[in-house]
Structure 1
Amino acid sequence: MKYRLTQYAHGGGCACKIPPGELEAVVAGLIDTTRPDDLVIGLDDGDDAAVVRIEGGQAVVATADFFTPVVDDPYDWGRIAAANALSDVYAVGGRPLVAVNLLGWPRDTLPMDLVREVLRGGLDVAREARCHVAGGHSVDDPEPKYGMAVTGLADPDRLLRLDAGRPGMPLCLTKPLGVGVLNTRHKATGEVFPQAVETMTTLNAAASRAALERGHGCATDVTGFGLLGHLYKMARASGVTAVVDASAVDYLDGARAAVRDGYVSGGTQRNLAWVTPHTEFGEVSEEDRLLLADAQTSGGLLVAGEVPGAPIVGELVGRETSTLIVRR
């Protein structure tokens, strides 16, 4: 019997995140204003991972990420979830060292043979990243969930962070957008999109390394809050306005058709609602707005600075009337 994993969960991938506005309201009172000096990156701006300075001129990077199935194939889901969790380390300029699995499984509903394939996919991607996988934790869960908690190392004086953007910096996006709408179509119809799986399983290691080698210090990965949501957080943290050239953004084949056919997740719609009060869209179409807010899973890095091979999709400018400006 072939099981469609996406049918056993209410959402899929990073599109099932708690909406950004609700999440910020929850953590607002938890930020420690007397943060110790060794906590280099914490809760302040919502960076992708925590960074703590340790002895020997190094820093420890810590993060965790897990989600419900984004594709039906268990091996591919494991690969995607692992690449997505590792991405948070790359997004702050770190190198992953060790990961532990996080697994929720409806053991009375889905066979345990599928779990082996999920874990095998995660292990294969971790090996590609030269990151050890050492155990983890599992629970009996009504919905299948998988991800990793990852620990890495970084140079505390050479990090990629949200608050380091300055006017005049170009914005480069290292992966095309559109996996959200394609995954939504896959969940609804069973159609398979190899181009989406390929981009979601591609590590952001090379992009992170290239950004650091060129001396850049501001970046984030584009995941559940979409390009506009993550860029809004960057612009807000850096005290600048971000201008996006919608015509310069690359999209996966089939993404526009998926939007036109109505395969837009609730997460994407919530992303767009969240950024709209802070954005000047001008004459940009609703289709483009949805694609720019599309909830990505294991998306690329958005870097304030040029990255070889990545298109320039906008720039950071001085503070204007809105935090985001989208043009064509």
Structure 2
Amino acid sequence: MVKVLKKITMWDHPNIVYGIDMVGDAGVYSIDEKRSLVQTVDVLTPIADDPRTFGEIAAANSLSDVYAMGGKPLTALNVVGWPTKLDTEILAGILEGGAKKVREADAVIIGGHTIKDEEIKYGLSVTGIIETDKLITASDAKPKGLLILTKRIGTGVISTALKKGETTEEAVSTINESLRTL
């Protein structure tokens, strides 16, 4: 994606604090002298068999991008890719799981969009708010600085192994709990 983005003309706007030309968890747009909106979108394919668990994981993943930059989530939109051949009760479970996490974040879901797809996909577009001078970015990291882990080490490796059918039920249970944490 970085190669593709280098080929397009970026926006030059005075309110962009952290934009598409910077590698980060979300975009940041100043709304006044002290505050900015933090916006992100993240979509996952299933990494849990239980629909509600998958919804919680995908929502926590999306919300965490706002938290990673020091923001507080305000609103979210559901983003769904759905195979029409599947029972909509599965979709209801996914959306219930996502809504649970959004409520836990003290934010609200105000809409969303669904497309037909061959594979289940779910995530959120999240808008948050931040005091601009409290923005945290990857470029703020310094040698010997404090590193805060919000998920267990190895969750990405186990998630990849799960998609290939190369992990244990115990490992999956462990990461599912970690991945659902805000």
- Same fold per superposition (TM over 0.5): yes
Q: Deviations over 1:71-92 (max 9, x none)?
A: 1111110000000000110111
- Structure 2: unaligned runs, 5 residues or longer: none
Instruction: Give 2:63's aligned residue.
Output: 86
* Distance (whole Å) between structure 2 residues aligned to residue 123 and residue 98 of structure 1: 11
Instruction: Give 1:202's aligned residue.
Output: 181
Instruction: Give 1:233's aligned residue.
Output: none
* Distance (whole Å) between structure 2 residues aligned to residue 170 and residue 57 of structure 1: 26
Paired residue type of 2:51: P
* Distance (whole Å) between structure 2 residues aligned to residue 25 and residue 199 of structure 1: 32
Give the RMSD, CA atoms, in angstroms: 1.9
Q: Are 2:24 and 1:47 equivalent residues in the alignment? A: yes
Asked whether the 8 Å contact 1:38–1:54 carries over to 2, the reply is yes
Alignment partner of 2:147: what SS?
A: strand
* Distance (whole Å) between structure 2 residues aligned to residue 88 and residue 70 of structure 1: 19
Asked whether the 8 Å contact 1:104–1:143 carries over to 2, the reply is yes
Q: Which has the higher contact order (CA 8 A, sep 6+)?
A: 2
Q: Deviations over 1:121-180 (max 9, x none)?
A: 000011000110112011111111000000010011111012223444343434322123
Q: Are 2:34 and 1:57 equivalent residues in the alignment? A: yes
Alignment partner of 1:124: what SS?
A: helix
Instruction: Give 2:77's aligned residue.
Output: 100
Paired residue type of 1:90: Y
Instruction: Give 2:107's aligned residue.
Output: 131
* Distance (whole Å) between structure 1 residues aligned to residue 21 and residue 33 of structure 2: 25
* Distance (whole Å) between structure 2 residues aligned to residue 47 and residue 119 of structure 1: 26
5 Å matches for 1:6-25?
A: 23-25=1-3
* Distance (whole Å) between structure 1 residues aligned to residue 166 and residue 84 of structure 2: 25
* Distance (whole Å) between structure 2 residues aligned to residue 105 and residue 90 of structure 1: 28
Paired residue type of 1:155: E
**Alignment TM-score, normalising by the size of structure 1:** 0.51
Q: Are 2:147 and 1:156 equivalent residues in the alignment? A: no
In the superposition, relative to structure 1, how do residues 31 and 169 fare at CA in structure 2: closer, same or farther (>3 Å)? farther
Q: Deviations over 1:1-25 (max 9, x none)?
A: xxxxxxxxxxxxxxxxxxxxxx111
Instruction: Give 1:66's aligned residue.
Output: 43
In the superposition, relative to structure 1, how do residues 70 and 31 fare at CA in structure 2: closer, same or farther (>3 Å)? farther
* Distance (whole Å) between structure 2 residues aligned to residue 82 and residue 99 of structure 1: 9
Q: Which has the larger radius of gyration?
A: 1
In the superposition, relative to structure 1, how do residues 180 and 57 fare at CA in structure 2: closer, same or farther (>3 Å)? closer
Instruction: Give 2:157's aligned residue.
Output: 181
5 Å matches for 1:139-288?
A: 139-187=115-163, 188=165, 191-192=168-169, 193-203=172-182
- Structure 1: unaligned runs, 5 residues or longer: 1-22, 204-328
Deviates more, 1:177-186 or 1:128-137: 177-186
Deviation at 1:194, TM superposition (A): 1.8
In the superposition, relative to structure 1, how do residues 196 and 56 fare at CA in structure 2: closer, same or farther (>3 Å)? same
Asked whether the 8 Å contact 2:158–2:167 carries over to 1, the reply is no
Kindly report structure 1 stretches of 4+ aligned residues shifted beyond 6 Å: none
